[in-house]
Amino acid sequence: MADESKPDIDWTNADVVKSQLKNNGYNLQYASSKLRGNDKIVLKAVAHSGCALQFADLSGVLRGNRKIALTAVDQDGLALEHVPSELRRDREVRASLKIFFFYCPADNMYRYSE
């Protein structure tokens, strides 16, 4: 996936991608699929922007990585949406939430409590 607003960036180069993640973890979405499957790169992205987890490898393997999931949720509780269901139930993952989000069927929306 190429980013038209950043045409001169080589999104297949790991060092370039790492430097772009320092500015914004969401830049993970522009990285090559190979780099989005690299655990060190994904960990760096979610440490900066938890919800960047949504751009991790399409196979879902890294989304299910406990360390990456914990880092993402600790950084941004909304990242829980991108964590596989078996890890959502994990006590430590839940404990890392600074706020707890829950689905309220009556309102058809998510609510949170601190």
Give the tens place of pLDDT for each residue, 35-65.
Answer: 999 999 999 999 999 999 999 987 888 999 9
Q: With cut-offs at 50, 70 and 90, classify the pLDDT of residue 23.
A: confident
Looking at residue 62, its amino acid is L
- 89 Cβ contact list (under 8 Å, min separation 6): none
Extract the tokens encoding 26.
């969401």
Q: What's the mean pLDDT in 24-38?
A: 95
The answer on pLDDT for 90 being more than 70 is: yes
Mean pLDDT, the chain, integer: 85
Q: With cut-offs at 50, 70 and 90, classify the pLDDT of residue 14.
A: very high
